[in-house]
Structure 1
Amino acid sequence: MRTLSKEELKRLYDEDFPLWAEINLELLKEKAYDLVDWENLLEEIEDMAKSDLKACISYLAVILEHLYKWDNFKDLAGEEHTGRKWIKSINGARREIDAKFKQYPSLRNKLPQELEKAWIEARKELYNWLEDNDYEPDDFYIPEECPYTYEEAMSRDLKKELKI
């Protein structure tokens, strides 16, 4: 293994991440702890720990977005769209969340605390959807605070509300 100074190793983090990771792994295996780029390594570990929670927040945002569309925009969607796509999307996002919970049980307690983050993402997508459909988003009321509870987002059965 080639020898790098701590400064060179830190610079390598931005210039060649795979090589940076490889060198840090070797340093850890050799127990050369004083040479490891701890600052960036700890940041990477923290990001890894958050990545699955971020995925769950994104799935929750999809659920919230489509619940809100169901409750407020079915008339805008037109007759050809009865909300079935939204139901499928909600159910798919719930399955993805459940799969993450099975894989990483600690997320089950963390996700309910992230409802407002998910709503921020959902609001953005609602505005984009309105614009994409040639509506002026500011003409519609989309609340700042999430109008749904976590429990409602995860369990409300829209199929029971579907009018065929």
Structure 2
Amino acid sequence: LKEGLYDLVDWENLLEEIEDMAQKHLDSCISHLAVILEHMYEWDHFRQWTKAGKEKGGLSWIRSIDRARTEISKLFRRYPSLRNKLPDYLELAWQDAVDELKLWLKDISKESLISQLPSRCPYTYEEAMTRDLRREL
């Protein structure tokens, strides 16, 4: 391409490579969104089980949420089209979050709560991206 030899380019393969790269960036955003949703749900429903208890527990969740939001913001700056796409994947991210919540509940011997996890995401995209849990300490 740099040499202008456009007739030698395998356009179909090039398009596939570009689409794969774009999907990887979107997948990364979805993964970060899932972390946010997982920890927000833990904060809202399971903070009492942290070592520090409900009043001071969950600070590591807040830090994880902050890191995930920062990574999403970086990806948005690099790839602006992701900003419009990510909200459409809230439910997919929630399903990933539920998978992690199930594992965590098993780890803390609270398997009986798995059936109470919502099938639909209990948060809006805006809430996931902007809610300040530090104000709730």
When the two structures are superposed, what TM-score results if normalisation uses the length of structure 2? 0.85
Match of 1:31 in 2: 7
Tell which has more relative contact order, 1 or 2 (C-alpha 8 A, sep 6+). Answer: 2
Q: Which has the larger radius of gyration?
A: 1
What's the offset of the Cα at 1:133? 1.8
CA deviations on 1:114-158 (whole Å, 9 max, x unpaired) are 101110100000001111222215555110000000000001000
Change (3 A) 1:117 1:32: same
CA deviations on 1:98-128 (whole Å, 9 max, x unpaired) are 1111111111111111101110100000001
What's the offset of the Cα at 1:79? 2.5
Conserved? CA contact 2:91–2:121, under 8 Å: yes
Q: 1:56 aligns with which of 9, 19, 29?
A: 29
Match of 1:117 in 2: 92
Question: CA–CA distance in 2 between the matches of 1:139 and 1:119?
Answer: 14
1:161 equivalent in alignment to 2:123? no
1:70 equivalent in alignment to 2:43? yes
What's the offset of the Cα at 1:31? 3.1
Match of 1:7 in 2: none
Change (3 A) 1:113 1:30: closer
Which contiguous aligned blocks of 4+ residues in structure 1 show a shift greater than 4 angstroms? Answer: 137-140
Return 5+ residue gaps in structure 2 as ranges: none
Return 5+ residue gaps in structure 1 as ranges: 1-24
Aligned residues: 133
Root mean square deviation of aligned Cα: 2.2
Q: 2:78 aligns with which of 59, 79, 103?
A: 103
Question: CA–CA distance in 1 between the matches of 2:47 and 2:14?
Answer: 48
Conserved? CA contact 1:127–1:137, under 8 Å: no
1:129 equivalent in alignment to 2:129? no
Amino acid at match of 2:32: Y
What's the offset of the Cα at 1:47? 1.2
What's the offset of the Cα at 1:71? 0.2
CA deviations on 1:46-101 (whole Å, 9 max, x unpaired) are 21111111101100000000000000011122336711000000011011111111
When the two structures are superposed, what TM-score results if normalisation uses the length of structure 1? 0.72
Match of 1:147 in 2: 122
Change (3 A) 1:139 1:92: closer
